[in-house]
Chain A
Amino acid sequence: MSKKIGKQTFRPEKPPVLISSAAVAGPFEGQGPLKDYYDHIYTDLLAGERTFESAEKEMLLNAAFTCLNKAGKAPQEVDLFLAGDLLNQTITSGFSALELAIPYFGLYGACSTSMEGLALATMLVDGGFADLVLAATSSHNTTAERQYRYPSEYGVHRKPTAQWTVTGAGAGLVAREGEGPRITHVTVGKVVDFGIKDVNNLGSAMAPAAALTLVQHFADTGHGPDYYDLILTGDLGKFGQSLTIKLATSRGGFDLTKNYRDCGLMIYDTQRQDVHAGGSGCGASAMVTYGYLYRKLLQGKLKRILVAATGALHSPTSFQQGQDIPAICHAVAIEA
């Protein structure tokens, strides 16, 4: 029997277990409200490395090794490593995989990579192809800024809709057997284009992807928003969040006003930390999921969560050539 239910959702026969997770944060993120939930907080953006790119790799590796250590597993015991990041040719993930020496698939889903990895890990484990899969992702403010925008010392006004790329990494270990929260559903998103071109307003470009994936998840599973203790989007920021709420109502009649939060807004104290519309980047949803949410699930404070990570699939080239910003969103349901 197919494990697909409805149009875009996959239900594992025996829900795989998220046996361990880890999150590391950069110095600025380490001052935010979730600081007690990170396994390590770096005091320096360079993390003791020569370049920011190496620093990002160090963060991803740290998250990966910490995650393995917590589960008492060695890299040799892991069947597959799934990782992705924001840099050209996803060098952070590739170079990390070199050091981990685990068979590796590189992913790119922009900021949706966190849940893309977790979704694929779930499907590979439940499909019987692997017993133990490590999924990880990272982002770094400085490496992302130089690639997508300006040199860091360049002086410009930032628009109110601009977001701040999160520095940090997260990793999760998915196993066929074990103790911990289980991954019960995976909803794979379609790429959508709602006509937004402004790269300083990515939250608005990605909100339709989030809303459509969430609405499809509710339709496919028959679970309404009330079924979950908490529904999260990855990095929509404050404008993207309100657009998602509006679209979920207009597209599916679902009310997201009660139990829905955005990871990009949870990482920072937006009153005190100057991040404009909120945090963005692969790290946002990964750090919140693998740091904060995982611990809340273990403690029993949260029982059922739905994490919908969104990604903007443009590049500086596609933007300069006048293309719209396409977006995607993958949702993963986790139950303690």
Chain B
Amino acid sequence: MPRDPKKKPLTVEQKRYTEMVRDLVPKPPYLRNALLAFLFGGLVAVVGQLVTDIYRLTMGLTAKEAGNPAVATMIFIGAILTGVGVFDKIARYAGMGLAVPVTGFANSVVSAALEFKREGLVYGVGSKMFILAGSVITFGVVTAFVIGLIYALFII
């Protein structure tokens, strides 16, 4: 018997049953989810653009310079919405539209911090805060490193 459960072939009975389940169970409404994500994701982007423009015009920053405070502001909004318990209710409809922009990152960190605050600052908030966002950070850094390496070796 192979030890890796992922490689274990399904028995005839299991195969028949999983097919039966697949036929019965409705697929998630992919089109509806995608359209809502497009709509809400676009809305987040519009708000982000608005914030960037405000920083650019009121503080005399260049468009590139205004990007950083704008991202921080969007993260702040995402965190506040999570804290007051609204984010997850909107995300039930918006799905990836809220998850992909930085607002989703803020939500994953703040929701975890809130969830584990009763385990204390060290064992709870401190160590569990990045339980969801940890993968994003890890692979974000790895990707940045690889891209940076390619850039340094071949482009400069």
Contacts and interface: CB of A to CB of B under 8 A. Distances in A.
The answer to whether A and B belong to the same complex is yes
Interface of A: 50-51, 146, 150-161, 193-196, 201, 204, 208, 239, 242-243, 246, 321-324
B70 interface: no
Nearest to A277: B25
B26 interface: yes
A208 B82 CA distance: 39
Contacts of A151: 111-112, 114-116, 132
B53 interface: no
Nearest to A201: B25
Interface string B12-30: 0111011011001110100
Interface in B122-154: 132
A155 B24 contact: no
Interface stretch (B44-52, B55-63, B102-110): B102-110
B92 A155 contact: yes
A195 B14 contact: yes
B67 interface: no
Contacts of A156: 88, 91-92, 95, 99
A156 B15 CA distance: 30
A155 B118 contact: no
B64 interface: no
Given A151-B111, A154-B112, A155-B88, A161 B17 contact: no
Contacts of A323: 5
Given A160-B28, A324-B5, A153 B21 contact: no
Contact of B13 (A51, A158, A194, A246): A194
A150 B109 CA distance: 12
Contacts of A158: 92
A160 B26 CA distance: 7
Chain B: interface size category: 35 or more
A154 B20 CA distance: 32
Given A246-B20, A321-B5, A323-B5, A160 B25 contact: yes
A160 B27 CA distance: 8
A196 B87 CA distance: 31
Contact of B33 (A154, A157, A195, A204): A157
Contacts of A195: 10-11, 14-15, 17-18
Contacts of B95: 156-157
B85 interface: yes
Given A239-B24, A322-B5, A153 B107 contact: yes
11 contacts: A152-B88, A155-B82, A156-B99, A157-B91, A157-B95, A160-B25, A160-B26, A194-B13, A195-B17, A204-B24, A323-B5
A230 B141 CA distance: 58
Nearest to A54: B118
A84 B88 CA distance: 31
Contacts of B5: 321-324
A323 B6 CA distance: 7
Contacts of B99: 155-156
A153 B114 CA distance: 8
B78 to A, nearest CB: 9
Given A150-B132, A322-B6, A155 B21 contact: no
B34 to A, nearest CB: 11
A153 B20 contact: no
A153 B24 contact: no
Contact of B18 (A153, A157, A196): A196
A172 to B, nearest CB: 31
Nearest to B132: A154
A146 B114 CA distance: 11
Nearest to B4: A322
Contacts of B33: 157
B8 to A, nearest CB: 9
Contacts of A324: 5, 14
B90 interface: yes
Contacts of B74: none
A146 B104 CA distance: 18
B98 A155 contact: yes
A208 B17 contact: yes
A328 B85 CA distance: 36
B154 to A, nearest CB: 37
A160 B25 CA distance: 8
Contact of A153 (B10, B25, B88, B118): B88
* A-B pairs, 10 with minimum CB distance: A155-B91, A195-B14, A151-B115, A153-B111, A151-B111, A154-B111, A194-B17, A155-B88, A157-B95, A322-B6
